[in-house]
């Protein structure tokens, strides 16, 4: 028997939702007009927004400060420009990290004329503030995530992951059929797992796209019985 600690499942439709016409967004945690005192953060994990941005639309120039911002593209493309002089277009398989530090301005637009962009934007509270802002992006192709948990972000940039200012590790994985993976939870750690696409069993609980599992207490997370599943796993203090 697997000791799982305390596991709580939150279903996707229970998240906050906003429809701005050009932008449709589910909020896993309190954000903008969605305020939920029971879901403000999970450890240093502060935001998971699942966004659909209409063709040719996006977020105009706006500020951020003292936040680690990770953008994970599911479909389409996103064009980023910032006050550090960075400009790029990211697509599925790319992971973008912007450390806002003591302050940065940036914009994000869907550069496509005929396709919606589907993405996850993740905010992690840093363990140090007032740092110089910085930017990084790396590519993690499907073969690195197929049937396993691939480290995409960590405090030390381990295994080629993007570097974040927090004692956190973020993994991405793709699972289908008999593919299976597990992740050990150390004492004093917690895990948040978000299902981005498809369906998968997490410690025996059936989850589908938009669902999340929160696990507190030492033990193990077992992922199996995936059906075109894409997941993000956050190992947090």
Q: What is the reported pLDDT for 4?
A: 52
Secondary structure (3-state) at 201: strand
Tell me the CATH architecture of domain 6-236. Answer: Sandwich (2.60)
How far from the centroid of its chain's Cα atoms is residue 77's Cα? 16
- In this structure, are residues 189 and 200 in contact, taking their beta carbons and an 8 Å threshold? no
Are 77 and 114 in contact, with CB atoms under 8 Å apart? Answer: no
Instruction: Tell me what the mean pLDDT of segment 79-90 comes to.
Output: 97
CB neighbours of 85 closer than 8 A, spacing ≥ 6?
A: none
pLDDT tens for 131-146 read: 999 999 999 999 999 9
User: Over the stretch 89-131, which tens digit does the pLDDT of each residue have?
Assistant: 999 999 999 999 999 999 999 999 999 999 999 999 999 999 9
- Domain spans, the chain: 6-236
């Amino acid at each position: 028997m697997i000791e799982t600690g305390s596991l709580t499942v939150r279903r996707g439709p229970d998240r906050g939702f906003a429809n701005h016409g050009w932008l449709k967004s589910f909020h896993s945690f309190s954000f903008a007009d969605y305020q939920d005192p029971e879901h403000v953060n999970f450890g240093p994990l502060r935001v998971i927004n699942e966004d659909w941005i209409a063709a040719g639309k996006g977020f105009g120039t706006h500020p951020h400060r003292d936040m680690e911002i990770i953008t994970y593209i599911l479909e389409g493309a996103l064009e980023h420009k910032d006050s550090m002089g960075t400009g790029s277009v990211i697509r599925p398989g790319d992971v973008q990290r912007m450390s806002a530090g003591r302050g940065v301005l940036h914009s994000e637009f869907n550069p496509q004329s005929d396709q919606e962009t589907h993405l996850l934007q993740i905010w992690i509270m840093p363990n140090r503030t007032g740092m110089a802002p910085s930017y990084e992006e790396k590519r993690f192709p499907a073969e690195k995530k197929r049937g396993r948990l691939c480290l995409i972000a960590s405090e030390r940039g381990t295994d080629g992951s993007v570097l974040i200012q927090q004692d956190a590790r973020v993994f991405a994985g793709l699972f289908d059929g008999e593919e299976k993976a597990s992740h050990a939870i150390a004492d004093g750690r917690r895990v948040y797992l978000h299902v981005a696409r498809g369906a998968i069993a997490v410690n025996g609980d059936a989850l589908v796209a938009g669902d999340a599992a929160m696990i507190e207490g030492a033990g193990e997370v077992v992922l199996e019985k995936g059906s075109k599943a894409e997941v993000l796993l956050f190992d947090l203090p």
